[in-house]
Chain A
């Protein structure tokens, strides 16, 4: 059956000066969209996100977990010191006879706070310094690059140990500052090299020739196009910072006794773990799962964003 109406003139004929080379009609493909597609298809990404969400929830609302999983009433009795898991107290008791599940759950907060705060601080420092060094070059770059190399030469845990031992009365805030001071160099280098690669791009030249000020060039053009790899490195860094913070606690130079953290629990457990393995096992399990999740997630994100690995 034929249509009663002849095909009318299409709108195309009315368009002025349309290009004959076909514009790509496929759904818009961009690096971030591709990366998200690739990430979404990987089960390990979802597993890592689940673990991180769970740990994040324990850090945000530890009361929820103690209420759900133990009969803990918040009291510690030395008579129950180091007792193993029993019904109502699935993780057993710690050295002071407190419910161990409640202790382990509360230990997640300093670890996550340190991991996120240190990484965010280091990211901020490195983005600013890398942007300045890469964009301006010259003596600014020389100065910042030499400073970065000095910071890069300092060992992370040893450097932190030395500084924290020198200032014994410190809390999580001071530790965060020390770890930022020791951890910004790698990201700064990545940022600087990205900025150098982007700043001579034609679109930056075009804006410069139109009369754009350096602040506009840096914030509108260079930063959005240079920041992705640094963010990926930062994600990988969260796991390292968490394990570093736990290491410092374990060595006795990080958080001190009244505070609760996985590193401190592991420190306590080292003397008793042959007879009372649960003291070691539970904080170690939580710590490893958290660090591993951040590192695997960072790896996956890096793979997704690095076109060379595709």
Chain B
């Protein structure tokens, strides 16, 4: 699937362990207010506020968090659709926002995105064949025109669709088939990096499994690096090597799948995991420590630790000092919490003790 030999003029020759995607201190603030009659810069919605990520070749990173935590904003900045307010995004060592237009087009060939909603992400007036071929039409240097129909057929077969579907329109396909078309489009240019923004959350549960299997299979066969954004922890656990948990624009905990699912240290991660339904009838009736309250407004985030307003063990220090995302004594992976929970201790289940003094 790889297209073309490595560019000899590449200013950054490949180093053996360079990550495909490296994000440093990324922030995206949307200014509020403004307008001719109001003072500019009165405030900002801090949708993403200082995120560091690394993604290596062939690796899948799951980004988890509840609605409104900034996952999708992060994805659209990573794809270069929006400029970040601060920080850098490096794709294979090249800073995405320091490139000129031509270089950016070249980088875009290497990273593609699968969008969330298969119903709105395909142009209703284009046939499936034209939709899948569009990335090839945008980057005509990849493949000569006469070889594109064969490529489209190959891509459709790759995602488990009948190449005869190329003449159909999106409304003639089911949701799962449409999402397969979206995946085929993302693979058309032979990318190294695939961003999946909740690719199955708009699908039926039965179809979700098929699309997830397809993604897992393609990732193996094509050696893709995957950033998988989701709010469904079961989906992430199935597919991802590493997990990053996001809360209100920040990463609060990150580690391998075994580390994060096995011994979550951050109270937020633990609450997220506790909210996953457990198919075990003996646990029926057991109280689950659910989070109280809503996500605070990203326009006015709490001081210190952002999670303290909903944290069961928040203390004075949490309001004053912002916890850094580091490995703390007694933990084996980075957490942004002053008081990481001890490993292997079940989270507090009694709602009466849910709130710390």
Q: Which residues of A contact B (CB under 8 A)?
A: 15-24, 28-30, 201-203, 205-213, 216, 220-221, 224-225
Contacts and interface: CB of A to CB of B under 8 A. Distances in A.
B162 interface: yes
Contacts of B121: 202-203, 205-206
Given A210-B135, A210-B138, A205 B81 contact: yes
Contacts of A29: 171
A202 B172 contact: no
A30 B138 contact: no
B185 A206 contact: yes
A15 B163 CA distance: 12
Interface in B163-180: 168-169, 171-177, 180
B204 interface: yes
Nearest to A26: B172
A30 B109 CA distance: 33
Given A28-B169, A210-B108, A17 B115 contact: no
Given A202-B121, A225-B123, A210 B112 contact: yes
Given A23-B177, A205-B81, 4 more contacts: A30-B171, A206-B121, A206-B182, A224-B125
A205 B120 CA distance: 10
Most buried by B among A203, A205, A216, A225: A203
- Shortest 3 CB-CB contacts between residues of A and residues of B: A17-B160, A202-B121, A211-B108
Contact of B113 (A19, A23, A209, A220): A209
Given A28-B169, A221-B123, A208 B81 contact: yes
B160 A18 contact: yes
Contacts of B177: 19, 23
B179 to A, nearest CB: 10
B120 A19 contact: no
A103 B329 CA distance: 100
A211 B81 contact: no
A207 B174 contact: no
Contacts of A216: 138
Given A202-B120, A210-B134, A19 B80 contact: no
Contacts of B180: 19
B232 interface: no
A305 to B, nearest CB: 14
Contacts of A211: 104-105, 108-109, 138-139
Given A224-B125, A225-B124, A19 B210 contact: yes
A127 to B, nearest CB: 16
Contacts of B122: 203
Contact of A21 (B117, B172, B182, B207): B207
B295 interface: no
Q: From A17, A20, A207, A209, name the one whose CB has the most chain B CB atoms within 10 angstroms.
A: A209
